[in-house]
Amino acid sequence: MVRLKEKIGYALGDAAAGGITWKIMSIAFPLFFTNVYGLTFADAAALMLVARMFDVVTDPLMGALADRTQSRFGTYRPWLIFGAIPFGLIFALLLYTPDFGPVGKRIWAYSFYLLMMAIYTAVNVPYGSLLGVMTDDDNEKNQFSSFRMVGAYAMGFVTLLSFPYLQKFVGGTSQHQYAVLGVFFGFIAAVGTLTCGLLTKERLKPVRAEKFSFKQFGDLFRNKPWIYLTLIGICTNFFNGFRYAVAGYLFEYCLKGDVTVSGFIINYTVFMTFGELTCMVFGGISPIFTKWVGSKKKAFTVAAIICAVTSVAFFFVPMHSSYIWLMVGIVILTSIGVGLYSPLLWSMYADVADYATEKNGTSSTGLIFSSGTMAQKFGTAISGSLVALFLGLAGASMITDSTGNSIVDPTSITDSVLSMIWSLFSLFPAAIVVIMLLLTYKYPINK
């Protein structure tokens, strides 16, 4: 019987990665790079596209490397233990704006964004793979996965809710605020990652393929459940990626800035916090819901339908701050679906890993879970890149201010740009869910 302490320890791993670093990178980075750091829309889009091509190579290689790691700490845990400090440090440096010219700032942004993606891979791929070696009990896997999601969403709730108040507390320029908060959140992320590595246990020994071989990659692409689940994972992250990446612009331009209700500040991070809290609650309910529905596949389908319907509904809300609570209500309803399907996705990756071991005779747990991390980064960053691209196509443009920094030209924010922002938060994600439902229907494992 796995102790509660270990489940909490496992939850801290995604609280650090998903609840802090990835949450800030998903929701704050598009607006940070264009409105604070000073990159153009084209530069920001290119930055995230280049990083994704980088991840296509590094994520599966990291999975293969993790599968072959042998140490006194186990196979996957040493990557968390020794990667924790670099993880927090590089995140802090990424949120720092150097006093360089345009070329120097581009080099800094590209270098540290790529480093952040590399260290995120080195920590998060082994973290996900831990689920395959901590227990062979399917119910306990669901519980670990549920704890993981609750940890991520609980910390995401705290991070996003506190962000505007911490900015106000730090004071100074926006660049100074982000730099200080980068150090603060980077430190917490490092501690959470280290604690996860120390509290978890690897009870199962993977059946190793000790020699590296490209055959395992060939086996992967012959694994039908893996293909469908990876595409589903990319869709889930496109869905979240569009919404998080455009939320800052939605408040900045569609709602004309932060909305204050009875002294309570609702900005783009607080707005999405309502969803984080809902995801935390329904992520905990997900195993119960899955048992009630009868299978992971059916539960995932129901949750996705909720996301599609509520996303379309948001499009018809009037674009005015007086409707803020209606918008919050729809975000909460959407997050019920997200909260229900998020733990299922990682539990389904464990099923695919078991299927691959049974079929091929050797473990490829790390390689298979690396595709989950790759899908997360690919979907989130490509959607963030597309947001910048679509806003540019809709007419948004940059100008140079008196200090030589690139800023958004306020005269370029026309009705077409506002409509694009609104659609990117509602109709675009809904279309992604339709694709996700078709893929789920074809997914062949019915556990």
DSSP letter for each residue of 115-132: HHHHHHHHHHHHHHHTHH
**pLDDT tens string for the chain (447 positions)?**
678 899 999 999 999 998 899 888 877 777 788 888 888 777 877 887 777 667 667 777 787 788 788 888 888 999 999 999 999 999 999 999 998 888 898 899 989 988 998 899 899 889 988 887 888 887 788 788 888 888 888 898 888 888 888 988 999 988 999 999 999 999 999 999 999 999 999 888 765 544 555 556 666 667 788 888 888 988 998 898 889 888 888 998 999 888 888 777 788 888 888 888 898 889 888 888 998 998 899 999 999 999 999 999 999 999 999 999 999 999 999 999 999 998 888 788 878 877 777 766 655 666 676 666 677 666 766 777 788 788 888 888 877 666 555 667 788 889 999 999 999 999 999 999 999 999 999 998 887
Tell me, what's the pLDDT at 102? 82
Burial 89-104 (b: 16+ CB within 10 A, else e): bbbbbbbbbeeeeeee
Residues 420, 196: Cα–Cα separation, whole Å? 41
Beta bridge partners of 261: 264
Beta bridge partners of 398: 408
Name the DSSP class of 68.
T
Residues 95, 70: Cα–Cα separation, whole Å? 34
Are residues 314 and 327 in contact, defined by beta-carbon separation less than 8 angstroms? yes
Amino acid letter for position 168: K
Dihedral angle of Cα 6, 14, 132, 135, to the nearest 10 degrees: 20
SS3 letters for 48-91? HHHHHHHHHHHHHHHHHHHHCCCECCECCHHHHHHHHHHHHHHH
Q: State pTM to two decimals.
A: 0.70
The helix, strand and coil proportions of the chain, stated in percent and rounded to the nearest 5, come to 80, 5, 20
Find where tokens 């869910």 sit. Answer: 433
Tell me, what's the pLDDT at 132? 79
Amino acid letter for position 133: V
Residues 148, 156: Cα–Cα separation, whole Å? 12
Tell me, what's the pLDDT at 361? 61
Tell me, what's the pLDDT at 209? 46
Helix locations, 102-223, DSSP H: 102-129, 131-134, 138-170, 174-199, 215-221
Residues 114, 111: Cα–Cα separation, whole Å? 5
Burial group, residue 343, by CB count within 10 angstroms (0-12, 13-18, 19+): buried
Residues, the chain, total?
A: 447
C-alpha triplet 292, 298, 299: angle, nearest 5°: 60
Amino acid letter for position 370: S
C-alpha triplet 5, 120, 208: angle, nearest 5°: 75
Beta bridge partners of 392: none
Residues 132, 136: Cα–Cα separation, whole Å? 7
Residues 244, 258: Cα–Cα separation, whole Å? 16
Domains of the chain plus CATH, in order, are 1-206 (1.20.1250.20), 220-446 (1.20.1250.20)
Amino acid letter for position 395: G
Tell me, what's the pLDDT at 179? 95
- Cα-Cα-Cα-Cα dihedral sign, residues 98, 247, 349, 278: positive
Among 13, 44, 425, 444, smallest CA distance to 253 is for 425
φ/ψ of residue 408, rounded to 5 = -70, 130
Are residues 273 and 328 in contact, defined by beta-carbon separation less than 8 angstroms? no
Q: How far apart are the first and last CA of the chain?
A: 22
Residues 210, 199: Cα–Cα separation, whole Å? 27
Residues 16, 122: Cα–Cα separation, whole Å? 14
Strands (E), 269-413: 398-400, 406-408
The token pair at 121 is 């891979």
Among 369, 365, 231, 346, smallest CA distance to 296 is for 346
DSSP string, 241-297: HHHHHHHHHIIIIIS-S-EEETTEEE-HHHHHHHHHHHHHHHHHHHHHHHHHHSSHH
Residues 184, 87: Cα–Cα separation, whole Å? 13
Are residues 18 and 191 in contact, defined by beta-carbon separation less than 8 angstroms? no
Residues 59, 382: Cα–Cα separation, whole Å? 16
